[in-house]
């Protein structure tokens, strides 16, 4: 934020400051939303929860094992919850979420949004890379992960851990919230091409910007998958093992990767056949740079023959892959993709289109950027597993 702007916001009402502006709120404006009581919690909200264009949400102390997923439609969540709860348990000091079981956990944060603010939620990267499927529901909500304009009430997180049993505790953050003023519109093809020419988004493995006329641009930027690797023995993917011990999500860089993951090395054909209902961690062929005034969401690319779910945690904060300069080379970080094929075995080849980056406006440049001013876990990543695994094992 420019000098003096913060004082201006403190002296006036935040919503007056936002009048005429649209897009996602950066960290400094999310902090103002909190200070004005639109985001509140019985437990103090910590500065570390505020990310460049999002806010981490925390699990509350009580978890419910439920028999099925649901949307409350025109009722409070707790009304429907009573009908589907099998049992509840306290997770203040930790509790186990069994594999493939469905849980609902009220979050610590509650909202009292202005009529012109609404929210979108998504899993954090570390959550998606554990094959944990999470989504937010709200009172009288009709859609998952969407918080309506002017919403006032509690937030609830549905959790299904697909590959591993996990131990969670109150205060743990598995997902994050983005706030939008009025409406956020994706950049159309013409505007995206103009922006790309000035600030390229995709870079090759040598750090050179990929020209826009060599990029597939249609409602976003299309990204391909790498199954060739950089070396003869490169690991091109990790496949989750079907049986494992519990992963305690309070332990960072603690677990041996080989106890939970099967590494897959490149082959001469530069292709890989994915097995149905197996979970894979893979990597983009291109390096991705999200410039400071941009925000991107990775949207799954689903072929017509056989559904392929990519990227549970498809949100890229401002500054992802940016090296802090205006240089048009040596930018970008590989995007790691969480992949789960359904129904039939699915073959992917090196350079095959895999997903799409959709770009949207930020109201103003965030004061904190991913990787530079934050201790970000995946800023300069290769094929990186979740932060709970020891990278040296």
Confidence at 302, pLDDT banded by 50, 70, 90: low
Lowest mean pLDDT among 18-32, 146-160, 294-308: 294-308
Residue 118 sits in the same domain as residue 202: no
Domain boundary among 120, 152, 181: 181
DSSP-assigned letter for residue 134? E
Give the domain range for residue 111: 5-181
Residue 177 sits in the same domain as residue 203: no
Residue 168 sits in the same domain as residue 223: no
pTM confidence score:
0.90
Q: Mark out the alpha helices in the chain (DSSP H runs).
A: 5-11, 14-18, 27-35, 77-84, 125-128, 189-198
Nearest-Å Rg of the Cα atoms of the chain is 21
| Pair 69, 102: CB distance under 8 Å | yes
Residue 348 sits in the same domain as residue 214: yes
Residue 118 sits in the same domain as residue 224: no
Residue 276 sits in the same domain as residue 161: no
Q: Which residues have C-beta within 8 Å of that of residue 165, sequence separation ≥ 6? A: 96, 97, 98, 99, 244, 245, 246, 247
Residue 271 sits in the same domain as residue 167: no
The pLDDT score that the predictor gives to residue 1 is 39
Of 86-100, 230-244, 354-368, the range with the highest mean pLDDT is: 86-100
3-state secondary structure of 255: strand
* 320 occurs within a structural domain: yes
Residue 164 sits in the same domain as residue 233: no
Q: Measured between alpha carbons, how far is 379 from 214 in angstroms, rounded to an integer?
A: 25
Residue 44 sits in the same domain as residue 152: yes
Lowest mean pLDDT among 84-88, 265-269, 302-306: 302-306
Confidence at 315, pLDDT banded by 50, 70, 90: confident
What is the average pLDDT across 178-198? 83
Token pair listed for 214: 């060599």
* 386 occurs within a structural domain: no
Res. 376: pLDDT tops 70? no
CATH code of the domain in which 12 resides: 2.70.40.10
* 51 occurs within a structural domain: yes
The pLDDT score that the predictor gives to residue 379 is 46
* 224 occurs within a structural domain: yes
Confidence at 218, pLDDT banded by 50, 70, 90: confident
Average pLDDT score over the chain: 88
The pLDDT score that the predictor gives to residue 8 is 44
DSSP-assigned letter for residue 11? H
What is the tens place of the pLDDT at every residue in 173-185? Answer: 999 999 999 765 5
Confidence at 393, pLDDT banded by 50, 70, 90: low
Q: Which residues have C-beta within 8 Å of that of residue 301, sequence separation ≥ 6? A: 222, 308, 310, 353, 354, 355, 356
Q: Which helix (H) or strand (E) holds 107?
A: strand 102-112
Chain Cα centroid distance, residue 35: 25
What is the average pLDDT across 330-346? 88
The tokens 């040596």 sit on which residue?
A: 330
Q: Give percent of the chain with pLDDT exceeding 70.
A: 89
* 154 occurs within a structural domain: yes
* 385 occurs within a structural domain: no
Of 174-188, 273-287, 362-376, the range with the highest mean pLDDT is: 273-287
The pLDDT score that the predictor gives to residue 151 is 96
What is the average pLDDT across 108-125? 94
Residue 313 sits in the same domain as residue 239: yes
Lowest mean pLDDT among 48-57, 156-165, 206-215, 227-236: 227-236
Of residues 157, 66, 58, the one with CA closest to residue 105: 157
The pLDDT score that the predictor gives to residue 9 is 45
Lowest mean pLDDT among 171-175, 298-302, 358-362: 298-302
Residue 175 sits in the same domain as residue 225: no
Res. 311: pLDDT tops 80? no
What is the average pLDDT across 232-244? 91
Q: In the chain, how many domains are there?
A: 2
The pLDDT score that the predictor gives to residue 295 is 87
Residue 34 sits in the same domain as residue 129: yes
Lowest mean pLDDT among 75-79, 143-147, 379-383: 379-383
DSSP-assigned letter for residue 358? E
Q: Measured between alpha carbons, how far is 284 from 287 in angstroms, rounded to an integer?
A: 7
* 381 occurs within a structural domain: no
What is the tens place of the pLDDT at every residue in 9-52? Answer: 443 588 888 888 888 999 999 999 999 999 999 999 999 999 99
* 387 occurs within a structural domain: no
Of residues 147, 178, 126, 181, the one with CA closest to residue 16: 181
């Amino acid at each position: 934020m420019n000098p003096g702007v913060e004082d201006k916001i403190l002296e006036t009402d935040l919503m007056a400051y936002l009048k005429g502006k649209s897009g996602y709120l950066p960290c400094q404006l999310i902090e103002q939303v909190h200070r004005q009581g639109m985001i509140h919690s019985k437990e103090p909200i910590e500065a570390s929860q505020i990310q460049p264009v999002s806010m981490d949400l925390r699990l509350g102390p009580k978890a419910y094992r439920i028999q099925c997923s649901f949307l409350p439609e025109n009722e409070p969540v707790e009304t429907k919850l009573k009908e589907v709860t099998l049992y509840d348990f306290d997770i203040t000091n930790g509790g186990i979420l069994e594999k493939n079981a469905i849980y609902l956990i009220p979050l610590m944060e509650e909202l009292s949004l202005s009529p012109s603010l609404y929210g979108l939620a998504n899993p954090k990267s570390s959550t998606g890379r554990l094959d944990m499927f999470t989504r937010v529901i709200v009172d009288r909500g009709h859609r998952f992960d969407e918080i309506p304009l002017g919403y006032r009430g509690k937030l609830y997180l549905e959790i299904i851990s697909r590959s591993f049993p996990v131990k969670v505790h109150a205060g743990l953050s598995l997902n994050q919230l983005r706030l939008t003023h009025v409406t956020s519109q994706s950049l159309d093809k013409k505007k995206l091409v103009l922006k790309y020419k000035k600030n390229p988004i995709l870079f090759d493995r040598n750090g050179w910007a990929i020209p826009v006329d060599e990029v597939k641009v249609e409602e976003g930027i299309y990204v391909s998958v790498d199954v060739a690797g950089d070396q003869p023995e490169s690991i091109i993917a990790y496949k989750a093992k079907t049986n494992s011990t519990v992963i305690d999500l309070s332990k960072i860089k603690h677990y041996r990767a080989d106890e939970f993951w099967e590494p897959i090395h490149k082959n001469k054909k530069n292709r890989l056949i994915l097995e149905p209902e197996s979970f894979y961690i893979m990597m983009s062929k291109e390096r991705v740079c999200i410039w400071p005034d941009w925000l991107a969401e990775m949207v799954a690319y689903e072929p017509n023959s056989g559904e392929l779910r990519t990227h549970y945690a498809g949100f890229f904060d401002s500054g992802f892959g940016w090296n802090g300069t205006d240089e048009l080379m040596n930018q970008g970080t590989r995007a790691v993709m969480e992949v789960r094929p359904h129904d039939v075995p699915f073959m992917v080849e090196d350079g095959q289109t895999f997903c799409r980056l959709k770009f949207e406006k930020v109201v103003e440049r965030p004061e904190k950027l991913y990787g530079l001013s934050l201790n970000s876990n995946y800023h300069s990543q290769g094929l990186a597993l979740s932060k709970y695994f020891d990278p040296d094992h």
